[in-house]
Amino acid sequence: MKASKPRALDRIDLKILACLQDNARISYVDLANQVGLSTTPCLERVKRLERNGVIKGYKALLNPKYLRANLLVFVEISLETQSSAVFDEFRRAVSKQPQIQECHLVSGQFDYILKCRIPEMSAYRQLLEDVVLTLPGVKESKSYVVMEEVKEDASIYVPELNEFDEHQLT
Amino acid sequence: MKASKPRALDRIDLKILACLQDNARISYVDLANQVGLSTTPCLERVKRLERNGVIKGYKALLNPKYLRANLLVFVEISLETQSSAVFDEFRRAVSKQPQIQECHLVSGQFDYILKCRIPEMSAYRQLLEDVVLTLPGVKESKSYVVMEEVKEDASIYVPELNEFDEHQLT
DNA sequence: CGACTTTCAGAAAGATTTGCTGTCACTGAG
DNA sequence: CTCAGTGACAGCAAATCTTTCTGAAAGTCG
């Protein structure tokens, strides 16, 4: 037997993804109607998208205002050495901190960009002390405190099929 | 009659939020079991959390790899003038671009931080031209191309009740 | 104390999920 | 060309879930 060949996403798959990204708690009946299928093949497609890793999960979007996460700060960090031991330790420290939502290794002047949600300024100082400054290799760090969130949209743009022709699952 | 007074979140609310953030497609039956209620009050609490804006929505998490959004770039932008007309125009341009996932007004050296997901480098150049460089007020921009996403977690940390005592809905 | 409010559980009706079956269209081998 | 074999689909039905209704228990305020 051959492994299930990962097929390219078709028009209906893209519609399903857009719908579920818009409202993850939609029922399969409604979803099927919106994409023009009956429930059975619609369910099968969703399960397949989950199996293939196209859909990574479903999340409720919470309002930071009510959860002591009012303050959003971006931090740029560069490390002294670029040894993998230091990098690993840095990653481990970052992973443990739930207040650090994102951490990306970037090219450019700095090594890492962090996105942190915290209750208030004092917690930010604490976080910097805990994570950033106690780590051995931190050379420099710069903080940007967010004054206003103009746009925050976790959604990924789901293209139309015609923009998407030659694109394949890999 | 008085408007429904927004009560503080209690232990069960926090559990519900954590569960729904972890898996937005959980059934009310399972959710009720996990938080130690029967389905009826559990459903009521969820609806109330939605009404009060604590839950802003439910989203499927899609894998950028399969949606032509492989490349993640952060852009820092500062504007020449800080007139509100320029700011407004900038915001409008940003809002229209689905590839710009986030845009934040920050304090510090730059005015805005953008987070963009795009198919590849050529699209990035295009985006810069479309949004950033055609706008009148852009003084300076700096790009950080993400080489590795160490951590990306849209979740907001849901505190335990004991860490949460004196916090109120406002 | 007594009325009122809030929160809860249980039951029941309605809706959804999910597995089963059969049909249709397409494909490749003979 | 013909005929399995395959994949995707719709319809149906049983199990499960959602959601409304009802009433009980606990707390609040006069």
Pair B121, A161: CB distance under 8 Å: no
Substitution target from A74, A87, A117 for chain B, most B beta carbons within 10 A: A74
Q: How far is B13 from chain A (nearest CA, A)?
A: 11
Q: Is residue B146 within 8 angstroms of chain A, CB to CB?
A: yes
Q: pLDDT tens, A10-20?
A: 999 999 999 99
Window 13-72 of A: residues touching B by CB (8 A cutoff) are 17, 20-25, 52-69, 72
Window 111-140 of A: residues touching B by CB (8 A cutoff) are 112-113, 117
Task: Please return the burial class of B168, using the count of CB atoms within 10 Å of its CB with bins 0-12, 13-18 and 19+.
Answer: exposed
Q: pLDDT tens, B106-152?
A: 998 779 999 999 999 999 999 888 877 777 778 889 999 999 999 99
B153 or B163: which leads in pLDDT: B153
- Give the pLDDT of residue A170: 39
Residue A111, C-beta contacts closer than 8 angstroms, at least 6 positions apart:
A77, A78, A79, A82, A105
Is the pLDDT reported for residue A60 higher than 90? yes
Mean pLDDT over residues A134-148, rounded?
A: 88
Alpha-carbon gap, residue B106 to B96, rounded angstroms: 20
Chain B residues with beta carbon closer than 8 angstroms to that of A52: 66
- Give the pLDDT of residue B108: 82
- H or E stretch at A140: strand A138-152
Chain A residues with beta carbon closer than 8 angstroms to that of B157: 67, 69, 98-99, 117
